[in-house]
Amino acid sequence: MSTTTVELALQEQQESQSPVYTFGPSADDAIVQEKQKWNDPAINKWRLLATFASFAVVGASDGVYGALVPYLREDYKLSTTVVSLIFVTPFAGYTMATLIVNKIHMTFGQRGIAIIGPLCHIIPFAIMAIHPPWPVMLGVYVIVGLGNGLIDAAWNSWIADMTNANTMMGFLQAFYGLGATLSPTIATQMIKSGLRWNYFYYTLLGGSVLELLASVAMFWKENADSFRAKNRRGPDSSGGSRTTEAMKSPITWLIAVWLFVYMGVEVSVGGWVVDFMVQARNGEPFESGLVPTGFWAGVTIGRLVLGFVNDCEGERIAITIYLAISIALELVFWLVPWFVVSAVAVSLLGFFTGPLFPAAIVTAAKLLPKHLHTPGIGLASALAGGGGAM
């Protein structure tokens, strides 16, 4: 046998022992993976509704920041810098979610997420509703971030692997946008009627209780054994921790950076546009408080409508078009100093940026092996929360 033949044999043996992280699942993975549909099995229809309810609560929590910032600053006598910490503390919870989301799935299955996620909403919202001191507000928002991170990772990774994933993800993320659309409007109306800002959290508390009941009822049978059976390791898996394996994949980090930037833009616009409209566009507090409603309504409608476009045209072409239009709208918002023009530009910006997040999640699910969907998408979602904090 020649020296070259021996070297090639040794090289093949080494490669078979070391995992190779390519851009996409292996051919063997592709053969054995069977995608679920929104109506197959039949219970998926009801499970999807339960996940939609969860995302509506997550969106309502995220969307109300902007409407409440002026009142929080006045009530607690805070500077703009200090009040901005309310955007930062949830990131700690998202980071915790990254580390434990796969462990929860492997130990309790999706049932564990269905219980723990909503509880991480119920407990903080109950505390916020009684008007706690400012440090306590910041502390319990860490728990909110933990719940949001678990729900983000679990339901995004589950739906992203379905048939017609862009359309289904569009609906899921649209309910996030719906919650974010309604919450600032409801909060603003409650405050205008004479109620203190903290009373709005009773609304979120009620929604979280319904979220818990729906999630537990629909996912109770999805235990650890069920999850492991549906997410077996592929032949290219290293055999170690799935979270560690996901961290070694360049796909995870590319998607994470993308979502980091995206969420930075989305949360900045939705969270600070009220202050901007009051101070830079000389708007009244009430009418300025309605501007984020237009933005989140745009996000919601965009995800509902353009998800079908993503499925037809493909993520790459669709995302390129949406980004070009969004940049133009940002320039209009920035350079034209009229209240009405800025408000309309923000709403259209929401419409065209809304589909970017679900498209990125679907892309991640296509490129990552199935057993890395939960830890990989969980890590990317956590870093997306970091973009919002920044």
62-118 residue pLDDT tens: 888 878 888 999 999 999 889 988 888 888 898 898 889 889 999 999 999 999 999
Asked whether residue 158 is assigned to any structural domain, the reply reads yes
Span 287-299, average pLDDT = 87
DSSP state of 338: -
In a domain, 14, yes or no: no
**Residue type (1 letter), 201:** Y
Q: 106 versus 313: which is more confidently predicted?
A: 106
Q: Which pLDDT band holds residue 188 (cuts at 50, 70, 90)?
A: confident
Question: Strands (DSSP E) along 128-272, which ranges?
Answer: none
Q: Which residues pair with 40 in a beta bridge?
A: 37
Cβ atoms of residues 54 and 151 within 8 Å: yes
φ/ψ (deg, to 5) at 324: -60, -45
Task: Provide the pLDDT for residue 55.
Answer: 95
User: Would residue 174 count as lying in a domain?
Assistant: yes
Specify burial of residue 161 (Cβ count, 10 A radius: 0-12, 13-18, 19+): buried
Q: pLDDT averaged over the chain?
A: 85
d(CA 89, CA 67): 18
Range of the domain at 101: 47-227+242-389
The residue ranges of DSSP E strands in 12-90, in sequence order, are none
Query: Do residues 23 and 251 touch, judged by C-beta distance below 8 A?
Result: yes
Contact between residue 362 and residue 310 where contact means Cβ atoms under 8 Å apart: yes
Residue 30 pLDDT: 41
Reduced to 3 states, what is the DSSP secondary structure of residue 39? coil
Q: Do 292 and 143 form a contact (C-beta atoms < 8 A)?
A: no
Q: Looking at the domain assignment, is residue 210 inside a domain?
A: yes
Task: From 364, 66, 74, 36, select the one nearest 222 (Cα to Cα).
Answer: 36
Q: What is the pTM of this model?
A: 0.79
User: What is the pLDDT, as a whole number, of residue 231?
Assistant: 72
Spatial distance between the Cα atoms of 300 and 91, rounded to a whole number of angstroms: 23
Does the residue 20 lie in any domain? no
Q: What is the pLDDT of residues 7-29, one digit of tens each?
A: 434 444 444 443 434 445 444 44
- Of 101-105, 270-274, 331-335, the range with the lowest mean pLDDT is 270-274
Tokens for 16, please give them: 């078979």
Query: For 233, which DSSP code?
Result: P
- 28 within some domain: no
* Contact in structure between 237 and 21 (CB atoms under 8 Å): no
Domain assignment present for 98: yes
* Separation of alpha carbons 343 and 89, rounded Å: 28
Can you give the pLDDT at residue 185? 86
Alpha-helical (H) ranges within 193-220 are 200-219
- Asked if residue 170 lies in contact with residue 303, where contact means CB atoms within 8 angstroms, the answer is yes
CATH number at residue 181: 1.20.1250.20
Which letter does DSSP use for residue 368 in this model? S
CA separation for the pair 119, 131 (Å, rounded) = 19
Our count of domains for the chain comes to 1
- Asked, for residue 153, whether it belongs to a domain, the answer is yes
* C-alpha 308 chain-centroid distance: 20
Take residue 159 and report the two structure tokens written for it: 């739906």
Q: How open is the CA angle 371-375-378, to the nearest 5 degrees?
A: 135
- Supply angle C-alpha 264, 267, 270, rounded to 5: 140
